[in-house]
Chains A and B, each alone.
Chain A
Amino acid sequence: MRISTFFYSLGQGIKNIWRNKLFSLATVATIAACVFIFGVFYSIILNFQNIVKQAQTGVAVTVFFDDGTSDERIEEIGNEIKKRGEVSKVVFVSAEEAWETFKTQNLGDYVDSFGDDNPLENDANYEIYMNDVSMQDNLVAYLESIDDVREVHKSVILASMLTSVNSLISIVSIGIILILLAVSIFLISNTVALGIEVRREEISIMKLIGATDFVVRAPFVFEGMLLGLVGAVLPLVAIYFIYGNVVEYLTQKFRLLDSLLQFLSISQIFNTLVPVAVALGVGIGFLGSFTTARKHLRV
């Protein structure tokens, strides 16, 4: 495409938008709503994944051994566990370390009454950290099947809650976004079809003069892509300003959960959100206008 043809088509696309102001406005509003909701859910998902990731680093499964299990056997079991794909880290806690930690955390001044006894002498254990908490059930089943393993402690509620909320948010977001996508494409299609109707005579002259299908369609495709672009940029600007305020509010409100609620910065969100949202807006615009122009402009 020549530069002059590019600018001519772009100019005609802008004129089309202006001629069908109301339809264009409705289209931009729908795309903006679609991209806005996408952006909001995207931000929530990214933050939630971040929180889950933080939480996951602290979720561990603890394995205790039968009385009298030898140190060699415990070491052997540890080496087997380390080979598992779900496992990110294995920490051995000896009976002495377990007792020291317990004393420090729970006994306070009563510690002297125990003398040199170690009530946890059979509680040497492995703390096993996972790559992903959703793998906990598999790992626990494996650990329970190992000979000489007496007991396996797991964090059922936290793990399943984190996993479930994560998938629920993803499913709801995908559903809403798909519906809005369909509505946006339908509206763009209508706007472009209206533009084609208004310019029917001009199009017939273009065809008689020998304009290629590409040149005839280009203004309409530009129109759709421009509507998509504007529909993507507006919600991004809105999210930019809203995000900081919401994060600040949540951080103030839930100060006690400061260690758990670690929000991503707007730049971390925008690194991926901007290209994805712009591609989404322009993509919706392109798809809606291209298919409509193709359908209505057959010679």
Chain B
Amino acid sequence: MITLEDVSKTYSTGSPALDGISLNIEKGEFVFIVGDSGSGKSTLIKLLLRELRPTSGKIVVNHTDVNRLKHGKIPMYRRGIGTVFQDFRLLKDRNVYENVAFAQRVISVPSREIRKNVPSVLSLVGLAEKYKSKPKELSGGEQQRVALARAIVNKPPILLADEPTGNLDPKNSWEIMMLLDQINANGTTVLVVTHNREIVNAMRKRVITMRKGVIISDQKKGGYIDED
């Protein structure tokens, strides 16, 4: 599903953010990517979203050679990847329903289907009752559920979650992880970038550990590896 071959990325400022990393993630896998700040996790996410191009190496996502992707094809490529961020990135002037519907509107899904899909995905994340609430009326955990609903409403085969529990308390963090697990169980390939040691250790999924732009460990059913 996702293949990186000897991928490096060096910013104009100097030292490489990624230094010749290679990895392969199969369809339907649940993978944690862990590492300290500056380890290259965010760069990896940006490369997968085609926000950046690698300095060298090859990236293939869902049979698409990302480096060769023409500008006009990027939107279609991104529709295959749902994204969730630490800061939720919800539209504050719109309610829960509108935030989720937004993801369908911008890719021109017919209104009839939007009216069917949005309540369904809101039920899945447990927010069916709060569809009229504005983001500021929701707790952090609830806001992240809205972001999650928005990320999966278009049914992407891949879900990228960049520190999805970074702003949440342990209870909410765990609930979000359970939702991600459920989404993965339905066939979606899930990549979670996180610092959350307890969750990584508890879930016993594949764990890729990065440090200073290289992969230092790739464990099946692994745990969090400390810096030292």
Are chains A and B native binding partners rather than an unrelated pairing? yes
Q: Which residues of A contact B (CB under 8 A)?
A: 1-2, 4-5, 8, 201-202, 204-213, 215-216, 299
Name B74's contact: one of A1, A5, A8, A299 (CB within 8 Å): A299
CB atoms of A211 and B107 under 8 A apart: yes
CB atoms of B91 and A2 under 8 A apart: no
Q: Name the CB-closest residue of A to B89.
A: A205
CB atoms of A206 and B106 under 8 A apart: yes
Question: CA A127 – CA B196 in complex, angstroms?
Answer: 102
Name B111's contact: one of A4, A202, A205, A206 (CB within 8 Å): A4
CB atoms of A1 and B49 under 8 A apart: no
Q: Which residues of A contact B89 (CB under 8 A)?
A: 201, 204-205
Name A211's contact: one of B75, B110, B114 (CB within 8 Å): B75
CB atoms of A209 and B103 under 8 A apart: yes
Given contacts A206-B102, A209-B79, A209-B154, 9 further A-B contacts (CB under 8 A): A4-B114, A205-B89, A207-B75, A208-B78, A208-B83, A209-B106, A210-B78, A211-B75, A213-B72
Q: Which residues of B contact A207 (CB under 8 A)?
A: 75, 78
Q: Name the CB-closest residue of A to B112.
A: A4
Q: Would you list which residues of chain B between 60 and 93 have a CB under 8 Å from chain A?
A: 71-72, 74-80, 83, 89, 91
Q: Name the CB-closest residue of B to A215.
A: B106
Q: Which residues of B contact A4 (CB under 8 A)?
A: 105, 108-111, 114
Q: Which residues of B contact A204 (CB under 8 A)?
A: 89
Question: CA A1 – CA B72 in complex, angstroms?
Answer: 16
Q: Which residues of B contact A8 (CB under 8 A)?
A: 105
Smallest CB-CB A-B distances: 6 pairs:
A210-B79, A211-B106, A210-B78, A4-B111, A210-B75, A212-B75
CB atoms of A1 and B108 under 8 A apart: yes
How far in angstroms is the closest Cβ of chain B from A203? 10
How far in angstroms is the closest Cβ of chain B from A42? 41
Question: CA A1 – CA B108 in complex, angstroms?
Answer: 8
Question: CA A202 – CA B154 in complex, angstroms?
Answer: 18
Question: CA A201 – CA B109 in complex, angstroms?
Answer: 22
Question: CA A205 – CA B88 in complex, angstroms?
Answer: 11
CB atoms of A5 and B105 under 8 A apart: yes
Q: 1/0 contact trace for B30-74 toward A, CB 8 Å?
A: 000000000000000000010000000000000000000001101
CB atoms of A210 and B108 under 8 A apart: no
Question: CA A4 – CA B110 in complex, angstroms?
Answer: 7
Q: Would you list which residues of chain B between 167 and 215 have a CB under 8 Å from chain A?
A: none
CB atoms of A210 and B91 under 8 A apart: no
Question: CA A258 – CA B133 in complex, angstroms?
Answer: 71
CB atoms of A209 and B107 under 8 A apart: yes
Question: CA A205 – CA B100 in complex, angstroms?
Answer: 12
Question: CA A122 – CA B76 in complex, angstroms?
Answer: 90
Q: Which residues of A contact B91 (CB under 8 A)?
A: 201-202, 205
Q: Which residues of B contact A209 (CB under 8 A)?
A: 78-79, 102-103, 106-107, 150, 154
How far in angstroms is the closest Cβ of chain B from A5? 5
* A205-B89, A208-B49 as given contacts; A2 in contact with B74, CB under 8 Å: no
Question: CA A211 – CA B150 in complex, angstroms?
Answer: 14
Name B75's contact: one of A1, A2, A201, A213 (CB within 8 Å): A213
Question: CA A210 – CA B114 in complex, angstroms?
Answer: 16
Q: Which residues of B contact A208 (CB under 8 A)?
A: 49, 78, 83
Question: CA A1 – CA B76 in complex, angstroms?
Answer: 15
Q: Name the CB-closest residue of A to B82.
A: A209
Report 24 cross-chain contacts, Cβ distance below 8 Å, ordered by A residue. A1-B108, A2-B110, A4-B105, A4-B109, A4-B111, A8-B105, A201-B89, A204-B89, A206-B102, A207-B75, A208-B49, A209-B103, A209-B107, A209-B154, A210-B75, A210-B77, A210-B80, A211-B75, A211-B106, A211-B107, A212-B75, A213-B72, A215-B107, A299-B74
How far in angstroms is the closest Cβ of chain A from B80? 8
Q: Name the CB-closest residue of B to A5.
A: B108
Name A210's contact: one of B71, B107, B110, B111 (CB within 8 Å): B107
Question: CA A215 – CA B71 in complex, angstroms?
Answer: 15
Q: Which residues of B contact A299 (CB under 8 A)?
A: 71, 74
